[in-house]
């Protein structure tokens, strides 16, 4: 299909019937051309919107990735602190048990010493 605005390799003047047929064909195709242009413009706008949406989603994804990495780092710090606290608790629990055992040993020793003194006193006071 040749349009009247197209250049041709031959420079013969177009006849009037050729010009009319070209104009008729152009008018006949005008609605399809307009529809195609409208679809193109709509798709161009929609593509721009989708690109914007894609960029926003990618930005959100990066933000979530950064948040996840920060939380993993924080979790690692908490785990290391928890292990230090657990070791300290175990050490203090051991010291507390040893201290309680020492208290009971002193109580038992004191009771035995008091009992021995009492027995010695009874033996001395016997006639």
As a whole number of angstroms, the distance between CA 75 and CA 85 comes to 15
**What pLDDT, in 10s, does the model give residues 67-90?**
999 999 999 999 999 999 999 999
- For residue 111, the model assigns a pLDDT of 97
- For residue 50, the model assigns a pLDDT of 97
- For residue 11, the model assigns a pLDDT of 52
- For residue 36, the model assigns a pLDDT of 93
Residue listed under structure tokens 């008091």: 114
Give the mean pLDDT per block of 10 residues along the chain (127 residues). 50 68 87 93 96 98 97 96 96 97 97 95 87
As a whole number of angstroms, the distance between CA 114 and CA 111 comes to 5
From the list 46, 8, 4, the residue with the least C-alpha distance to 27 is 4
- For residue 1, the model assigns a pLDDT of 46
- For residue 24, the model assigns a pLDDT of 87
* Residue 126 backbone class (left: φ over 0; alpha: ψ -120 to 50; beta: rest): beta
- For residue 120, the model assigns a pLDDT of 92
As a whole number of angstroms, the distance between CA 85 and CA 94 comes to 14
């Amino acid at each position: 299909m040749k349009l009247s605005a197209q250049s041709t390799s031959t420079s013969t003047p177009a006849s009037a019937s050729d010009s009319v047929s070209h104009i008729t064909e152009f008018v006949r195709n005008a609605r399809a051309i307009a529809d195609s242009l409208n679809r193109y413009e709509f798709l161009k706008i929609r593509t721009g919107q989708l690109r914007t949406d894609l960029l926003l989603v990618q930005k959100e994804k990066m933000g979530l990735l950064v948040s996840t990495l920060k939380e993993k780092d924080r979790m690692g710090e908490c785990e290391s602190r928890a292990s230090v606290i657990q070791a300290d608790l175990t050490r203090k629990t051991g010291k507390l048990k040893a201290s309680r055992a020492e208290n009971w040993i002193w109580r038992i020793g004191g009771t035995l010493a008091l009992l021995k003194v009492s027995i010695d006193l009874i033996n001395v006071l016997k006639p």
